[in-house]
């Protein structure tokens, strides 16, 4: 009681000294700038390091030849890893993107309220936070154990499981941005709900959905932990059938190549790991920035 | 259209009712579409329950054989010792280090982005920090292992030991660089963009009118932030912190490369090698010698899953509370 009385007597007529308040404000502002500078500096440092170390590994053989088996020797490359990463990521996207897209349509068009939709939304949010190594364990138990062999397909499944909630939540947010008037006018024309949704709502949100889809694919393209127990790695070219195929056995990929080569005693192999890292960085960040620039307008309604 | 009108014109009774049905003729398109989308949306939820089933099934051998002993034993030393405490301890310590560094940094950056700079600058700075989230874990690992760890081991950690901090037991021992402290440091940079992005969104949800009222009273930016925005956004910031915590707990590749993978004993110093739950799994799965060891590693994954789920759920609860407060929809 007495404390508040003191407060009332003091505060309205005698404000605290301005200098102290300005100082606190200035300190915090400076601190915030320093924090941002640290973030930007780290980003730049990583980019710089990867470029400096990785560019030396890039040559024609690097993109066209197979990795060395056993001892390192020059004239080798990671061509099979590039193909494998593209294939494994594509395999994840071809299932994960449509599934997430239609799931998002349910949440935004039919399930804005209601218990089922809320439950699905909550679980999707939680799956969003499942560590990627757990997704790898999931694919291991579900596909590798019953089929008795590792495969790129199992890797795709793990990546799909990570991509699915990302796509669902992103697409839902984007579809929610479409104004309701558009839905109402489409329905007023007498078209069925499904046509109004796919032909009008989705079309209106098109560029945002494309951005979301690409970012969801990029989110998993550089993953390693889900491939540890599924795709593994391979020094061979992929075949259509047999133990070197996508369904039949370990499948080469860029991230597992880095994981296996980072500790290598031979500096040549470590340089190849940096080269692979540079390739991933260029691809992931490049497409990321390009997508944001190209489809930026889709964000503003 | 014309047939419908003709039929409406026919005398009332059975034919009229039929016409009514035909005019609003029933289409299978909509219910089919609806159920199809429900099935797609439910796929995530189904997958989550299948995931739990698969993890339990594949770790059953270890659960059956070892019982609760992993949770009471320290050392992971196959073929017969499957203690999880060394891993859990490492996960705990690296996460704490990461949070201590990342949370203040992330909040400061979020404050800068929302309150202090021009929207264009905010966008450029924000996007750059967000790009950190797009850098794959394995590249953080490669960078941490080949650049940061030598730097820490040769310069930073010996320097810490020359200051008064060096007398503390947690900074004792020979610094090698690839240790718990470096792992926590790199981890903090990895979760920084996530906490920043969510706190920025949360701070943006604070109504402008409320803030303007504060400025109208003559408050400085910091006073408005501390006394109005922070109070308003507190539950959302708690959600952001838990989200980052969940990420840090499960992060694998970078930590596995940096922390050294020492799975026995509880380290007394931050300059000592160690392991985390995910690092133990990643480093030992390929070389597992027995079915029991594989099963025990999957049991570790199950424990990790349970822990991260708790923090994810907490994050969602706090974020939902923040959204309810600001009145915006999910």
List all residues 6 or more positions away from A52 whose beta carbon is below 8 Å from its beta carbon. none
Tell me whether residues B128 and A134 touch, CB distance under 8 A.
no
Q: How sure is the predictor about B157, in pLDDT bands with cuts at 50, 70 and 90?
A: very high
Q: How far apart are the first and last CA of chain B?
A: 42
DSSP state of A297: G
How far A165 CA sits from the closest chain B CA (Å)?
7
Q: Which of A3-17, A239-253, A258-272, B53-67 has the lowest mean pLDDT?
A: A3-17
Quick one: which of A198, A200, A132 has its CA closest to A164?
A132
Tell me whether residues A43 and B301 touch, CB distance under 8 A.
no
Tell me whether residues B137 and A24 touch, CB distance under 8 A.
no
Residue B289 pLDDT exceeds 90: no
* Per-residue pLDDT, B159: 93
Please name the member of B139, B225, B246 whose beta carbon is closest to the beta carbon of A280: B139
**Average pLDDT score over residue span A251-272:** 92
**Would you call A52 helix, strand, or coil by DSSP?**
helix
Tell me how far apart the alpha carbons of residues B52 and A107 are, in angstroms, rounded to a whole number.
Answer: 24
Q: How many residues does chain B have?
A: 330
Return the residue in A15, A20, A34, A35 with the most chain B beta carbons within 10 A, the one to mutate for interface testing: A35
* Per-residue pLDDT, B1: 38
CA of B165: how far to CAs of B22, B97, B160, in Å? 85, 16, 6
Mean pLDDT of chain A: 89
**Average pLDDT score over residue span B180-200:** 95
Residue B163 CB burial class (10 angstroms; 0-12, 13-18, ≥19): exposed
Tell me how far apart the alpha carbons of residues A38 and A51 are, in angstroms, rounded to a whole number.
Answer: 20
* Per-residue pLDDT, A296: 66
Tell me how far apart the alpha carbons of residues B185 and A29 are, in angstroms, rounded to a whole number.
Answer: 24
Tell me how far apart the alpha carbons of residues B310 and B312 are, in angstroms, rounded to a whole number.
Answer: 6
Question: Which spans in chain B are helix H?
Answer: 2-8, 14-23, 29-66, 85-111, 119-134, 137-143, 149-151, 157-162, 180-204, 208-216, 221-224, 230-250, 253-258, 277-284, 291-326
Tell me how far apart the alpha carbons of residues B94 and A300 are, in angstroms, rounded to a whole number.
Answer: 40
* Per-residue pLDDT, B325: 76
**Would you call A207 helix, strand, or coil by DSSP?**
helix
Q: Which residue has the higher pLDDT, B321 or A78?
A: A78
Residue A70 pLDDT exceeds 80: no
**Would you call B82 helix, strand, or coil by DSSP?**
strand
Tell me how far apart the alpha carbons of residues A300 and A201 are, in angstroms, rounded to a whole number.
Answer: 15
Tell me whether residues B312 and A126 touch, CB distance under 8 A.
yes
CA angle A221, A164, A119 (to 5 degrees): 150
* Per-residue pLDDT, B330: 39
**Average pLDDT score over residue span A11-23:** 70
pLDDT tens digits for B31-73? 899 999 999 999 999 999 999 999 999 999 999 998 888 888 8
Q: How many residues does chain A have?
A: 301
Question: Which residues are registered as beta bridge partners of B260?
Answer: B274
Tell me how far apart the alpha carbons of residues A218 and A288 are, in angstroms, rounded to a whole number.
Answer: 7
* Per-residue pLDDT, B87: 94
Give the containing element (helix H, strand E) for A35: helix A18-54
How far A84 CA sits from the closest chain B CA (Å)?
17
Would you list the domain boundaries of chain A? 80-299
* Per-residue pLDDT, B174: 86
- B/e letters for A241-270, b = 16+ CB within 10 Å, e = fewer, are eeebebbbbbbbbbbbbbbebbeeeeebbb
Please name the member of B108, B225, B252 whose beta carbon is closest to the beta carbon of A35: B108
Residue A299 pLDDT exceeds 70: no
Q: Which residue of A has its CA nearest to B106?
A: A35
Cβ atoms of B270 and B181 closer than 8 Å: yes
pLDDT tens digits for A197-251? 998 999 999 988 999 999 999 999 999 999 999 999 998 898 888 888 999 999 9
* Per-residue pLDDT, B227: 87
Residue B164 pLDDT exceeds 70: yes
DSSP state of B260: B
Please name the member of A40, A120, A122 whose beta carbon is closest to the beta carbon of B316: A122
Q: Which residue has the higher pLDDT, B322 or A106?
A: A106
* Per-residue pLDDT, A14: 55
Q: How sure is the predictor about A16, in pLDDT bands with cuts at 50, 70 and 90?
A: low
How far A178 CA sits from the closest chain B CA (Å)?
14
Cis peptide before B79 (omega within 30 of 0): yes
Question: Which residues are registered as beta bridge partners of B81?
Answer: B77
Domains, chain B, in order of start with CATH, read 2-60 (no CATH), 67-326 (1.10.3720.10)
Query: What six digits make up the tokens of A264?
Result: 């290598």
Q: Which residue of B has its CA nearest to A45?
A: B143
Tell me how far apart the alpha carbons of residues B301 and B309 are, in angstroms, rounded to a whole number.
Answer: 12
How far B65 CA sits from the closest chain A CA (Å)?
19
**Average pLDDT score over residue span B231-243:** 90
Q: Which residue has the higher pLDDT, A71 or A52?
A: A52
Question: DSSP secondary structure string, A165-200?
Answer: HHHHHHHHHHHHTS-HHHHHHHHHTT--HHHIIIII
Tell me how far apart the alpha carbons of residues A228 and A256 are, in angstroms, rounded to a whole number.
Answer: 7
- Using a CB-CB cut-off of 8 Å, the residues of chain A touching B105 are 35, 38-39
List all residues 6 or more positions away from B11 whose beta carbon is below 8 Å from its beta carbon. none
Mean pLDDT of chain B: 87
List all residues 6 or more positions away from B91 whose beta carbon is below 8 Å from its beta carbon. B249, B276, B277, B278, B304, B307
- Using a CB-CB cut-off of 8 Å, the residues of chain B touching A223 are 136-137
**Average pLDDT score over residue span B236-256:** 93
**Average pLDDT score over residue span A52-80:** 91
Cβ atoms of B128 and A40 closer than 8 Å: yes
CA atoms within 13 A on the CB side of B187: 35
Domain A80-299 matching CATH 1.10.3720.10: the answer reads yes
Quick one: which of B316, B126, B140, B143 has its CA closest to B238?
B316
Tell me whether residues B44 and A129 touch, CB distance under 8 A.
no
Tell me whether residues B34 and A262 touch, CB distance under 8 A.
no
Residue A5 pLDDT exceeds 60: no
Rg of chain B in Å (alpha carbons): 28
* Per-residue pLDDT, A11: 52
Residue A300 pLDDT exceeds 70: no
Cβ atoms of B191 and B94 closer than 8 Å: no
pLDDT tens digits for B250-262? 999 999 999 988 8
Return the residue in A224, A263, A271, A274 with the most chain B beta carbons within 10 A, the one to mutate for interface testing: A224
Tell me how far apart the alpha carbons of residues A40 and A217 are, in angstroms, rounded to a whole number.
Answer: 24
């Amino acid at each position: 009681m007495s404390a508040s009385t003191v407060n009332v007597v003091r505060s309205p007529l005698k404000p605290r000294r301005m200098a102290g308040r300005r100082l606190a404000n200035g300190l915090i502002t400076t601190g915030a700038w320093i924090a941002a500078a640290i973030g930007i500096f780290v980003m730049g440092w990583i980019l710089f390091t990867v470029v400096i170390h990785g560019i030396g590994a890039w040559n024609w053989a690097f993109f066209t030849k197979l990795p060395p088996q056993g001892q390192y020797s020059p004239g080798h490359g990671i061509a099979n890893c590039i193909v494998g990463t593209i294939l494994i990521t594509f395999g994840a996207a071809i299932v994960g993107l449509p599934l997430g897209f239609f799931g998002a349509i349910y949440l935004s068009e039919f399930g804005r309220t209601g218990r089922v939709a809320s439950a699905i939304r909550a679980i999707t949010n939680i799956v969003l936070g499942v560590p990627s190594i757990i997704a790898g364990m999931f694919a291991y138990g579900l596909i590798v154990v019953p089929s008795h062999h590792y495969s790129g397909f199992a890797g795709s499944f793990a990546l799909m499981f990570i991509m699915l909630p990302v796509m669902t939540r992103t697409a839902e947010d984007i579809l929610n941005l479409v104004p309701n008037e558009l839905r109402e006018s489409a329905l007023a024309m007498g078209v069925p709900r499904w046509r109004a949704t796919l032909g009008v709502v989705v079309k209106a949100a098109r560029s945002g959905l494309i951005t979301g889809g690409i970012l969801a694919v990029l989110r998993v393209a550089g993953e390693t932990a889900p491939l540890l127990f599924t795709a593994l790695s391979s020094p061979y070219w992929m075949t259509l059938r047999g133990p070197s195929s996508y369904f039949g056995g370990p499948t080469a990929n860029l991230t597992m190549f880095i994981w296996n080569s980072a500790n290598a005693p031979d500096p040549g192999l470590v340089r190849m790991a940096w080269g692979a890292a540079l390739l991933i960085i260029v691809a992931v960040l490049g497409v990321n920035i390009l997508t944001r620039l190209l489809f930026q307008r889709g964000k503003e309604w | 259209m014309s047939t419908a009108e003709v039929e409406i014109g026919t005398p009332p009774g059975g034919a009229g009712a039929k016409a009514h049905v035909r005019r609003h003729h029933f289409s299978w398109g909509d219910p089919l579409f609806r159920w199809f989308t429900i099935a797609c949306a439910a796929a995530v939820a189904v997958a989550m329950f299948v995931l739990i089933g698969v993890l339990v099934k594949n770790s059953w051998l270890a659960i059956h054989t070892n019982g609760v002993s992993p949770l009471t034993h320290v050392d992971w030393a196959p073929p017969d010792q499957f203690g999880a405490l060394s891993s859990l301890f490492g996960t705990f310590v690296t996460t704490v280090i990461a949070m201590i560094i990342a949370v203040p940094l992330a909040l400061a950056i979020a404050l800068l982005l929302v309150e202090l700079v021009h929207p264009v600058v905010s966008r450029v700075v924000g996007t750059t920090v967000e790009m950190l989230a797009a850098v794959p874990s394995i590249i953080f690992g490669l960078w941490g292992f080949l650049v940061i760890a030598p730097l820490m081991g040769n310069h930073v950690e010996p320097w810490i030991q020359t200051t008064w901090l060096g007398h503390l037991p947690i900074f004792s021992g020979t610094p090698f660089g690839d240790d718990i402290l470096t792992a926590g440091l790199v981890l903090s940079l990895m979760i920084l963009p996530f906490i920043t992005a969510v706190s920025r969104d949360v701070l943006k949800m604070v109504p402008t009118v409320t803030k303007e009222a504060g400025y109208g009273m003559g408050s400085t930016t910091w006073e408005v932030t501390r006394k109005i925005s922070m109070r308003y956004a507190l539950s959302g910031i708690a959600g952001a912190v838990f989200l980052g915590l969940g990420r840090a707990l499960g992060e694998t590749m970078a930590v596995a490369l940096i922390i050294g993978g020492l799975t026995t004993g509880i380290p007394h110093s931050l300059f000592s090698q160690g392991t985390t739950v995910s690092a133990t799994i990643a480093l030992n799965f390929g070389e597992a010698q027995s079915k029991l060891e594989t099963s025990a590693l999957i049991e570790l994954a199950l424990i990790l899953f349970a822990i991260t789920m708790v923090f994810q759920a907490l994050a969602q609860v706090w974020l939902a509370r923040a959204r309810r407060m600001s009145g915006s929809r999910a």
